[in-house]
Amino acid sequence: MRNVIRYLCLLIVMMCAGSLYSQTVTGKITDNENLPLPGASVMVKGTQNVVSTDMDGNYSIPNVAPGSVLQISFIGFVSQSIEVNNSTVINATLKASPNELDEIVVVGASVKRSDLTGAVGNLSGEKLKETPTPNLLQGMQGRIAGVYIQQNPTPGNGASIKIRGSNSISAGSTPIFVVDGLIMEGNFENINPNDVASIDVLKDASATAIYGSRGANGVVVITTKRGSRSGEGTVQFDTWVGVSEFSKQIPLMNGSQLFDLRVDAAANTYLDGQLPFDTSGVPLGLSRQEFINQITSDGSRVFAPYELESYRTGKSYNWLDEITRSGVQSNHNLSFSGGSEKGTYFVSMSFADQDGILKNSGFKRYNGKINLTQDVKSWLQIGTSTTFSRSEASYIDGGAFGTALGANPLLPIDRTATYLSYGEGIDNNQRNPILSLDIASVSKRNMLTTSNYISIKPVKGLEIRSTFGANIIDQGNFEYFPSYTGQSIGNSADGEAHHYRYSELNYQWDNTVTYSKVFADKHDINALFGYSAQKNDNNTTDLRARGFATDDLSYKYLAGASQRANSQLSSDFNTYTILSYFGRVNYTFDKKYMITGTIRRDGSSKFGPNNKWGTFPSAAVSWDIAKEDFLKDSKKINQLKLRTSYGISGNQNIGLYSYVTLYRPSFSGTSTSFSQYGFEGNPDIKWEKQKQLNIGFDAAGFDNRLSVSANYFYTDNTDLLLVRKAIPSLGYKDKLENIGALNNKGIELTISGAIVQTKDFRWDVSANISSAKNKITKLSGDNSPIYNFGGFTGSEIQRDNNRIVGKSINSIYVFQYDGIAQQGEDLSSINYGGRVVMPGDIKIKDRNGDGIISDSDRYVVGNVDPNYYGGFSSDLNYKGIGLNMIFAYSIGGRRTSGVYEGYMYGTGRTAAHTDLLDRWTPTNTDTDIPRAYYNGGRFNLGDTDKGIQNASFLRLNALTVSYTLPSDLLSRIHLKGLKLYVTGSNLFTITKYKGYDPESGDTPNLRMIVTGLNVSL
């Protein structure tokens, strides 16, 4: 026992001695440009003693014994091991890992960003996360020059994206997404933003040329996160919860105001010598007040008893409140990453849950991802990037929101009524929105995305790489309309079930050979040659069944449908393939001068045998003046690169089988016949061609604290595919031909700067502005305009989708507003084409002076594309307390709003905007709002440029206040990082647009307050 006590005492003395000789080591971790690396790991080798650097790259690690080794690592950088000895201050500079940080994966090949000589925009995964959202595109908005994104607040629906405007009239403008080398053309909302390491947007012909025809509308390259070869594992948990509401409410009249509006409208119509609706039996010749007394008394034909009762008791009802709520959103993400000298791993799981503002609407998404790389041999590497995503979206009937918004505020809430009404009349199109909540409408999608590669490096500088990827989608949409809803009753359905199934298999096989060599320390050559094959198979099945004995089984028992003759069936199967050969050579001399040449030859099954193949070359040159002898020692100029590129790409974003004439069989009695379907086939259709010139420069100075990038581009688009009227005797109305031309030009400017960088305080700012303007230069034949006819008669020229040489493809074509007609004004000199114009009504400008208002008086008032768009941000941090602001803006675009125009009719028999409170009356003539009127025959705001609204806006996308715990405190609780934050999304929008939102139009946008937590260990 005495010996045991001695040994214990000796052990305690040795431990105390070790503690006496241990020390606290501090320092700063930076990159090779002397910029701090926040979140870098500093660990005492062989122990669990580990800390992370703070926002300024500083660290403090206690209990470090002399002779210990510090292991310093950061994802994307080469790790370092430093022996402590007796030093208490150890600083380290980490070098970027060329295999991890500076590489993106394109068409099965790993390419350095520095080798992309064209116009490329970049957004890091950390910047993307500054906007808490499960939607990737929403986080990108306003962050990259030349990228125009419009939000879509509907749960589960993605935003729209365009790069450098429009370059086709009818073949679409959506770019492709390349996720870890796999091309995707949709379902972007299934990408988890937390998995993203970086986003590179390839914009000009040189940058996109490696994708040939696929890159005609730009390319968004997404590189997901990888593990680090540092040997240390990292666990990251990110979570946030938010509450959302409508960011704007349309100001509508209450019950009393709408009552007065209907009285005014009916009286104006009566005094014009016309009887308003439902006033048969009212004698003519009454004074205005006599007529008003009659229609506001009991027994009125203008107002129903319930409306008179609501008016007299001062009640007003809001039907929209019955189907809306505050939405709750949450997002949770857990990831594990790490690796060793032989390989890396990254595994993540995430769950996003969004309750829609409309009751019974929502979106859930489950994601799982695994990225692995493994060096099997020193010359052989394999890897995979695989993601599984399941999304579940639920919706309410598409018309419920509009019906509730426009419901009669004098109509008491009735949850059992089948239809709503104004006055005594029941409108079968106004189905009770509360009953519409009972309609089951769900969409379920499973998506597996995988990209797997094998890389062989037989000799230094040579890489042979083969990548096989697949995107598999299985989606089902299901609806059920209960028998008691207006939707079912209107179709005499006795309950209606709808099944829609979609299945897609898209696979891609890329094979590349890359060779890199530096000669004589100055000549750097990189050559890439490859082959790519892609095939897409998709099919749909659509089924509607009606007549169910009970609503209890919803859409789940189609066999219970009794109206077999009233069922509807359809299906479709499609396949298209693309085969490509490509090559690219980069040559750099002395790190100053770079020349890039690319050529790609694509074959697409969407074209006939006459024009199946297209060849698309490009070239680019750049010169970094800052590396010349007369500037290389400058401390104020770190980069001054001039670059230009020119290239040709193609567009094959058209429907399938347009080169052949399609027929479909139909059965009648005992015979089968084949009838025309779609366009008349045109075997000569060919690729749309896009010739693009880009001139730009990139500059950085003051130790890279200030950077500027600018681009000018001009694109000439020819052989554009347009629908042309076919020969009627052949039985076809339309034919697709290469007959159009369009040019598109614009500028882009990005500026970013580290305004203040001290030990305790940092302030970074960035801003970008872009412009893209297109003009049609050629149409078919004599270049006559191609008008979009429609409306009530089918022969009225519509406001949009008209094609006019010299104008934008997104032009708005309307009459010119000429003021409000006044009392005593001579209106007989103009023939208004059958429309009524009396005092208080809208007048139309006779632009051609022929005395007749006709379609020839229409003109292009503007277009929906903004003149300029972009965003700016500010990021302040003081001792771990952060304030981050992200803004997006758009200047000069025009937009219509069917909601606003519909509520400005002034009849009093629909919901009405409060702007009508300033309507024209004999005593209120100084206004631009027309008088109230009951019957039709007048010009409305939507017919004129007065109804085309300015869609310019400035939006605060996100405002975040955060706190990051200091490294010394984190080390005590064994964490690498912990950040708490509160974010307000879409807090305000400054705009003159009178619809719901200048981006989403008549769909209301959301404002959200979020609280979140980021933890790493």
pTM over 0.85: no
pLDDT above 50 for 515 = yes
CATH code of residue 154: 2.170.130.10
Residue 963 pLDDT? 92
Residues 123 and 59 in one domain: no
Percent of the chain with pLDDT over 90: 37
Contact predicate 209/600, CB 8 Å = yes
Q: Which residue has the tokens 């189907």?
A: 323
Which pair of structure tokens corresponds to residue 980? 């708490």
More confident residue, 658 or 712: 712
**Mean of pLDDT over the chain:** 85
Tell me, yes or no, whether 219 and 112 share the same domain: yes
- Residue 11: pLDDT above 70? no
984 pLDDT band, cuts 50/70/90, is very high
Secondary structure (DSSP) of 521-576: TTEEEEEEEEEEEEEEEEEEEEEEEE-BS-STTGGG-GGGB--GGG-EEEEEEEEE
As a whole number, mean pLDDT of residues 204-225 equals 79
Give the closest residue to 937 by CA, choosing from 274, 107, 388, 323: 274
Flag whether pLDDT at 819 surpasses 50.
yes
Give the dihedral sign, CA 792/794/797/803: positive
CA-closest candidate to residue 379, choices 458, 453, 454, 452: 458
In a domain, 129, yes or no: yes
Tell me what pLDDT residue 333 has.
94
Q: With CA atoms as reference, report the closest residue to 29 among 37, 18, 39, 21.
A: 37
Instruction: State the pLDDT confidence band at 18, using cuts at 50, 70 and 90.
Output: very low
Do both 152 and 119 map to the same domain? Answer: yes
Asked if the structure places residue 184 within a domain, the reply is yes
Q: How confident is the model at residue 10 (pLDDT cuts 50, 70, 90)?
A: very low
Say which range, 98-107, 163-172, 722-731, 904-913, has the weakest mean pLDDT. 98-107
Question: Per-residue pLDDT tens for 724-737?
Answer: 766 555 566 678 88
What is the pLDDT at residue 17? Answer: 38
Structure confidence at residue 16 as a pLDDT band (50, 70, 90): very low
886 found inside a domain: no
Give me the mean pLDDT over the 843-864 stretch: 89
Q: Which of 39, 58, 93 is the last residue of a domain?
A: 93
Reported as a pLDDT band with limits 50, 70 and 90, residue 13 is very low
**End of a domain among 93, 120, 155?**
93
**% of the chain with per-residue pLDDT over 70:** 91
Task: Assess whether 86 and 105 both reside in one domain.
Answer: no
Contact 660, 606 (CB under 8 A): no
Residue 766 pLDDT > 90, yes or no? yes
Same-domain check for residues 130 and 80:
no
Report the alpha-carbon distance of residue 942 to residue 895 in Å, rounded: 11
How far is C-alpha 528 from the geometric centre of its chain's CA atoms?
32
Regarding whether 204 and 154 lie in a shared domain, the answer is yes
The pLDDT value given to residue 544: 92
Q: 401 with 911: CB under 8 angstroms?
A: no
CA gap 899, 911 in Å, rounded: 10
| 600 vs 895: CA distance, rounded Å | 39
Q: Do 131 and 72 belong together in one domain?
A: no
Q: Which of 659-668, 705-714, 911-920 has the lowest mean pLDDT?
A: 659-668
CB 303 within 8 A of CB 934: no
Residue 130 lies in a domain: yes
Query: Is there a domain that residue 842 lies in?
Result: no
pLDDT at residue 79 in the model: 72
Query: If pLDDT is split at 50, 70 and 90, which confidence band does 1 have?
Result: very low
110 and 214, same domain (yes or no): yes
| pLDDT score, position 20 | 39
Q: Which token pair is 904?
A: 């400005």
* Residue reference for tokens 């909601």: 899
127 in the same domain as 82:
no
Residues 86 and 127 in one domain: no
Domain region containing 176: 100-230
Q: Where are the beta strands (DSSP E) in 625-760?
A: 637-651, 662-668, 671-677, 688-701, 706-725, 734-757
Give the mean model confidence (pLDDT) for residues 772-785.
Answer: 87
130 and 195 in a single domain? The answer is: yes
Average pLDDT, stretch 528-543?
94
C-beta neighbour count of 197 within 10 angstroms: 21
- Report yes or no: 122 and 113 within 8 Å, Cβ to Cβ: yes
The pLDDT tens digits for 235-276 are 999 999 999 988 889 999 999 999 999 999 988 888 887 766
In whole angstroms, give the CA distance from residue 35 to residue 23. Answer: 27
Last residue of a domain, one of 163, 196, 230: 230
Q: Has residue 28 got a pLDDT over 50?
A: yes
- Token output for 538: 């998709």
Instruction: Indicate the number of domains in the chain.
Output: 2
The owner of tokens 């000796």 is: 10
End-to-end Cα separation, the chain, in angstroms: 43
pLDDT tens digits, one per residue of 621-659: 999 998 888 887 787 888 899 999 999 888 887 778 888
Stretch 197-211: mean pLDDT, rounded? 80
Confidence of residue 951 (pLDDT cuts 50, 70, 90): very high
Indicate whether 441 belongs to any domain.
no
Query: Do residues 104 and 181 share a domain?
Result: yes
In this predicted structure, the answer to whether residue 769 has a pLDDT above a threshold of 70 is yes
Give the neighbor-by-neighbor strand order of the sheet with 58-64. Answer: 58-64, 23-31, 92-94
Q: Tell me if 218 sits within 8 A of 164, measured CB to CB.
A: yes
Q: What is the CATH number of the domain that holds 38?
A: 2.60.40.1120
- Specify if 558 maps to a domain: no
767 belongs to a structural domain: no
pLDDT at 35: 64
pLDDT at 731: 60
Residue-wise pLDDT tens digits, 334-376: 999 988 888 999 999 999 998 988 888 889 999 999 999 999 9
Give the confidence band of 140 by pLDDT, cuts at 50, 70, 90: confident
Q: Greater confidence, 605 or 113?
A: 605
